[in-house]
Amino acid sequence: MNDQTRLSLEEAWTLSVDVLEQNGFSKDQAAAIARSVVAAQRDECHSHGLYRLLDCVRTVRYGGVDPRAVPEVADQAPGVVSVDARGGCSLLAFETARQPLIEKARATGVAALAVNNAFHFSALWPEVESLAEQGLVALAMTPSHAYVAPAGGHSPLLGTNPIAFAWPRPEGVPFVFDFATSVVARGEIELHRRAGESIPEGWAIDGAGQSTTDPSAALAGALLPFGGHKGAALSIMIELLAGPLIGDRLGHQTRPADGSGEGAPQHGEFILAMDPQAFLGTDAETRLQQAEALFEGITAQGARLPSQRRHAARARSHSEGVAIPAALYAELVQLRDGEAQT
């Protein structure tokens, strides 16, 4: 079961696009999704890599995403652009609205993008990184389904609500972080359950609101926010900004598509872009250089920058390609060839 299949980045790309198009995704939707999952696989973020193609196909079959949706951009205000994903995946919607967002940020200094009515499964860092590659500072957040209890509470209410940030660096790749506001991802607990292992104290509570080390009890209970009441506060902020502020759902108002007909997986994403040129004018270059003192201060202590491990993986993948489990590869090939999903 530990057999790995190695693919070049080009092979990973072609396989991803073919799986998606074979399963009903339009050419544009498929390309946007493939860009995200191949980037995640390349950076060895396995949980957001090619594995997620299975989710995409499953969600189409359950009616939880429109695979041929054409996103629609709307100008809300001088500093606000929105894009209606129209039930499609968030990724094409983001790509469609990225240039209008960049133009607004350059014109006003700071601009927001609201992505609405989207199926969202992807990592946020490729999106903020793509904005930082254009010289902008970017922040993104999205709710997820309600798996996390508020600090001091006992039942799932908040999503795992990730937040991502990117800062342009004068040389090399941007500084980027992207983390869930739960202590761990739900998938991490699922992996412990499958392996028959207990989970550490502090990750989750059971259905009665008590601390548990049993992954099955945790999955029936709730994850805990990272950092206690501080992480929970941040998670609430994410729900509010990427929900009501942009006219979209709160985490607990969504449900994964599961074939029951009661799924409501679609929700919003909130992205902010800031242009250092607008803040700093001709000082922008000097000030971006000043920020390097902070990064150097961190690495000089032997501490790691948040994106450091991903960037090392990226360099490796460009020369060596990526490795995915052979079983996953076989399943993707079946999906590409039009066979039933197991």
Active site (annotated) includes residue 48? yes
Instruction: Determine the interface stretch with its own copies among 25-33, 93-101, 303-311, 316-324 (rule: CB under 8 A).
Output: 303-311
Q: What is the nearest approach in angstroms of its own copies to the Cβ of residue 313? A: 17
> Where in 212-271 is the site for its own copies (CB under 8 A)?
226-231, 233-234, 236-237, 239-241, 243-247, 250, 252-253
Tokens of residue 258, six digits: 């599961």
Stretch that binds its own copies, among 4-12, 59-67, 74-82, 119-127 (CB under 8 A): 74-82
Instruction: Report, in Å, the least distance between residue 215 CB and its own copies.
Output: 21
- Nearer residue to its own copies within complex by CB, 66 or 239: 239
188 is catalytic: yes
| Binding-site size, its own copies (CB under 8 A) | 72
Site string for its own copies, 150-189 (x = CB under 8 A): xxxxxx-x-------x-x-------x-x-x-x--------
Which stretches of the chain are assigned E, i.e. beta strand? 4-7, 72-77, 80-84, 110-118, 137-141, 163-167, 175-179, 204-205, 222-223, 267-274, 322-325
| Cβ closest to its own copies, residue 209 vs residue 259 | 209
- Nearest distance, CB of residue 225 and its own copies, angstroms: 9
Note if 260 is an active site residue: no
Cross-sheet strand order for the sheet of 137-141:
72-77, 80-84, 110-118, 267-274, 137-141, 163-167, 175-179
Tell me which amino acid residue 86 is.
R
- In this chain, which of 54, 280, 326, 333 binds its own copies, going by CB under 8 A? 280
Q: How far is CA 81 from CA 46, 64, 112, 148, 260, in A?
A: 32, 25, 6, 30, 34
How far apart (Å, rounded) are the C-alpha atoms in residues 33 and 89? 8
Q: How far is the CB of 328 from its own copies (least distance, A)?
A: 28
CA distance 276 to 192: 44
Quote the radius of gyration of the chain (alpha carbons, Å).
20
Q: Give the contact letters, 93-122, x = binds to its own copies (CB under 8 A), - = no.
A: --------------xxxxxx-x--------
Which residue out of 36, 48, 130, 182 is catalytically annotated? 48
Distance (Å, whole) CA 307 – CA 310:
5
Q: Which is nearer to its own copies, 15 or 137 (CB)?
A: 137
Place of tokens 């242009």: 275
- Give the residue with the Cβ less far from its own copies, 187 or 228: 228
In the set 132, 137, 218, 322, which binds its own copies (CB under 8 A)? 137
DSSP string, 209-248: S-B---HHHHHHSEE-BTTHHHHHHHHHHHHHHTTGGGT-
**Mutual angle of helices 52-61 and 27-42, in 10-degree steps:** 150
43 near its own copies (CB under 8 A)? no
Helix/strand/coil for 78 = coil
* Catalytic annotation, residues: 47-48, 188
